[in-house]
Structure 1
Amino acid sequence: MRPTYPAAVYLCLFDADRILLQRRAGTGYRDGELSLPAGHIEPGESATAAVLREAREEIGIAFARGDVRLALVQHGRADGDAYIDFFFTAALPPGAAPAIGEPEKASELVWAPVRALPDDVIPVIRHGIDALVRGESYTEYGW
């Protein structure tokens, strides 16, 4: 029997030396902690299509396919689950203002210095961001 892993996408949206984080709320998973705009890849959906959809839904920005770039794959195990995570990067488009698009899932948007992340970033997410900053394209967490 082959193992199967859920897959998720994360958007690392940069504005100069800052990264956009959102505070989770009302989800039942790590509420009150900071994460990236993110979500699961839906059946029949590519990773790129998923990150574009999540960006529209969660922060109200409609990126074009060429605006996002796959930068890191993380095979992580946290909180009892193993995942394949795809971290995409993008720059804040001129004139764009991210806003909370799903207030039932996020309570706050935070621009944080990418090299001095707040203490309450979810550890598996922090690991991915740190690996990305180091220029890695693949990392593992929790194994």
Structure 2
Amino acid sequence: MTQRYQVTVDVHVILERGADILVCLRDGTGYRDGWYCLPSGHLEAGETVVDCAVREAREEVGVDIDPAALRPATVVHHLSPEGAPRIGVFFATSSWAGEPVNAEPAKCADLLWVSARRLPDNTVPYTAAGISLYQNGVGIGLHGWPAFATQ
């Protein structure tokens, strides 16, 4: 019998303030430290992607999001440089309670509001791909797969 395909699900939150979005500078995580990403994390067992988005935004940047305020942004089927597949579910919102703060200083060196169209050069490529797909109205895309070298 063939084993079923297993994949890690990542959930990303695009907090929008006008044309700007909030990015977090990774630090002390062991993965892409010194690179910017969105508030994000892994889906936990028994958790919905919406619940995960709300939880990650609270844990990482200290804001409370009403689940109804989350809009589906895009989905990215990503293949890491190490060959590990992932599914990234991206949500966007311009509505939340509280002012974003660095709520995880052991994992984040800084928060930065940036233009969604002009991300820092040191933005995690997978993150940048999801933001670009969202900005261009693409509902689902691929990133990192060899047959799609242009993505």
TM beyond 0.5: yes
Aligned residue runs from structure 1 range 2-21, under 5 A: 2-21=4-23
Q: What TM-score do you get using the length of structure 1 for normalisation?
A: 0.96
Q: How much has 1:124 moved relative to structure 2?
A: 1.1
Q: What TM-score do you get using the length of structure 2 for normalisation?
A: 0.91
* Counterpart selection for 1:110 from 109, 112, 134: 112
Deviations 1:105-138 (A, max 9, x none): 1010010111111101011111110111000110
Q: How much has 1:93 moved relative to structure 2?
A: 3.6
* Counterpart selection for 2:87 from 84, 93, 96: 84
Alignment-mate amino acid for residue 59 of structure 2: E
Tell whether the 8 Å contact from 2:81 to 2:144 is kept in structure 1 after alignment.
no
Following superposition, which runs of at least 4 residues in structure 1 exceed 6 angstroms of deviation? none
Deviations 1:28-79 (A, max 9, x none): 0000100000000000000000000001100101111111112211100123
> Separation in 1 of the partners of 2:60 and 2:16?
16
* Counterpart selection for 1:61 from 63, 68, 76: 63
Instruction: Quote the RMSD (CA, aligned, Å).
Output: 1.1
Using the aligned pairs only, state the percent identity.
35
Tell whether the 8 Å contact from 2:64 to 2:96 is kept in structure 1 after alignment.
no
> Separation in 1 of the partners of 2:138 and 2:21?
17
Q: What is residue 125 of structure 1 aligned with on the other side? A: 127
Aligned residue runs from structure 1 range 41-60, under 5 A: 41-60=43-62
Alignment-mate amino acid for residue 88 of structure 2: D
Q: What is residue 149 of structure 2 aligned with on the other side? A: none
Which consecutive residues of structure 2, in runs of 5 or more, have no partner in the other structure? 146-151
> Separation in 2 of the partners of 1:93 and 1:71?
16
Whichever of the two has the greater Rg, that structure is 2
Which consecutive residues of structure 1, in runs of 5 or more, have no partner in the other structure? none
> Separation in 2 of the partners of 1:72 and 1:18?
18
Matched residues, number = 142
